[in-house]
């Protein structure tokens, strides 16, 4: 048996139990607590320090095919492996050749330790997994997004309310199936892409405005259209939407989407944008009319907002009331059908409010 084959056989028993570590690494969770968790989880007989275990980490996590194609930040990989190596050396354990060689290679890449690696134009990938039991698919669903390596524009990072909206849709899929969905301020597209892979909506239109954000949004849709099964549905598209001028398509028109549901995550943070945002809601919900004699298509907007400033959120609610747009807080009812712990690695779940916005017709 060749040496490489022997290493693969030795590493195999550990590889199956490293899915949690792979998920965390793909998502670029903080390296220090991640290594600490690794050591604590496999502390029996210092399993984590064996050469076979190190090789399993390298083969299953660092050389994961998805991460090799859609890489995390090199400096993140360096920090993770360096902390792992420091722990190994701290107990006098031998360091795997594969681990040592990877670290040497990372150090040789000047951008890893160079301060210019924090250039605001630099981007990297993060990847997340939706378990098949939640996605209701034959295989786990993999979603990858390119994000900014440092915060430089609101549309190039993933916001907490976007995660929350995705969880809401997964737990309330019947509200979205065979309906047309428009997402405002889609940013990197994480919410809509998860919907596109897990929920059978009729059409999905992900929108934003800034050119750099739109370019990245289209890129993320494209890579997820080819990444793993289930593939992203073909009826997922990206479009520039100006909140000052947008109008839904006329009934029966194929030119653009006439949405049944409007989604927005963390779009309620700037009071100066409220007039434009309410204008979009007016256009989407339509005018308040008398009770129709026959049923008409029902439209609703679902907004998720992380409450960072209560006064700002109250100002939004006041603006809705002024324009006769009804507001219903559905946070508690929605959480009752969602998993107790977040499916995705985000904080401040308790600060997020989910609301349903709609029109009520006049009654006689």
Residue of 7 and 117 predicted with greater confidence: 117
The whole-number pLDDT of residue 234 equals 67
Structure confidence at residue 297 as a pLDDT band (50, 70, 90): low
Mean pLDDT estimate for the chain: 88
In tens, the pLDDT along 227-249 reads 866 677 668 999 999 999 999 87
pLDDT beyond 70 at 31: yes
Question: How high is the pLDDT of residue 362?
Answer: 46
pTM score above 0.85: yes
- Predicted confidence at residue 173, as pLDDT, reads 96
Q: Does the pLDDT value for residue 273 go beyond 60?
A: yes
pLDDT at 153: 75
Give the mean model confidence (pLDDT) for residues 193-200.
Answer: 94
Which pLDDT tens digit goes with each residue over 251-263?
655 545 689 999 9
**Residues 51-92 pLDDT 10s:** 999 999 999 999 999 999 999 999 999 999 999 999 999 999
d(CA 281, CA 191) in angstroms, rounded, equals: 20
pLDDT tens digits, one per residue of 135-170? 999 999 999 999 998 776 789 999 999 999 999 999
The architecture that CATH gives domain 124-358 is 3-Layer(aba) Sandwich (3.40)
pLDDT at residue 2 tops 60: no
**All structural domains of the chain with their residue ranges:** 3-117, 124-358
Query: pLDDT digit string (tens) for 336-351?
Result: 999 999 999 999 999 9
């Amino acid at each position: 048996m060749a040496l490489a084959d022997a290493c693969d056989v030795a590493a195999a028993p550990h590889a199956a139990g490293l899915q949690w570590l792979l998920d965390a690494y793909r998502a670029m969770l903080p390296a220090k607590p991640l290594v600490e968790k690794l050591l604590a989880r496999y502390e029996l007989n210092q399993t984590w320090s064996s050469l076979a275990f190190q090789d399993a980490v390298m083969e299953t996590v660092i050389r994961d095919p998805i991460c090799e194609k859609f890489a995390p930040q090199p400096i993140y990989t360096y920090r993770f492996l360096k902390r792992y190596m420091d722990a190994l050396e701290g107990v006098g354990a031998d360091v795997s050749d594969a681990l040592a060689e990877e670290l040497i290679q990372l150090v040789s890449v000047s951008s890893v330790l160079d301060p210019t690696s924090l250039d605001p134009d630099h981007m990297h990938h993060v990847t997340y997994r939706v378990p098949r039991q939640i996605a209701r698919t034959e295989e786990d669903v993999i979603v990858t997004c390119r994000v900014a390596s440092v915060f430089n524009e609101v549309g190039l990072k993933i916001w907490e309310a976007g995660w929350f909206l995705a969880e809401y849709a997964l737990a309330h899929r019947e509200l979205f199936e065979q309906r047309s969905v428009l997402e405002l301020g889609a940013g990197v597209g994480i919410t809509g892409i998860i919907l596109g892979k897990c929920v059978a909506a009729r059409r999905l239109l992900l929108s934003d405005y800034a050119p750099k954000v739109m370019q990245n949004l289209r890129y993320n849709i494209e890579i997820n259209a080819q990444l793993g099964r289930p593939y992203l549905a073909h009826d997922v598209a990206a479009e520039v939407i100006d909140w000052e001028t947008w109008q839904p398509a006329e009934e029966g028109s194929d030119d653009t989407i006439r949405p049944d549901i409007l989604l927005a995550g963390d779009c309620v943070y700037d009071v100066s944008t409220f007039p434009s945002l309410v204008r979009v809601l007016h256009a989407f919900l339509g005018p308040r009319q008398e009770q129709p004699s026959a049923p008409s298509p029902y439209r609703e907007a679902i907004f998720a907002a992380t409450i960072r400033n209560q006064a700002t959120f109250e100002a939004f609610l006041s603006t809705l009331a002024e324009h006769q747009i009804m507001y219903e807080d559905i946070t508690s009812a929605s959480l009752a059908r969602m998993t107790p712990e977040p499916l995705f690695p985000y904080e401040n779940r308790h600060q997020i409010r989910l609301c349903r916005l709609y029109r009520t017709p006049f009654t006689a």
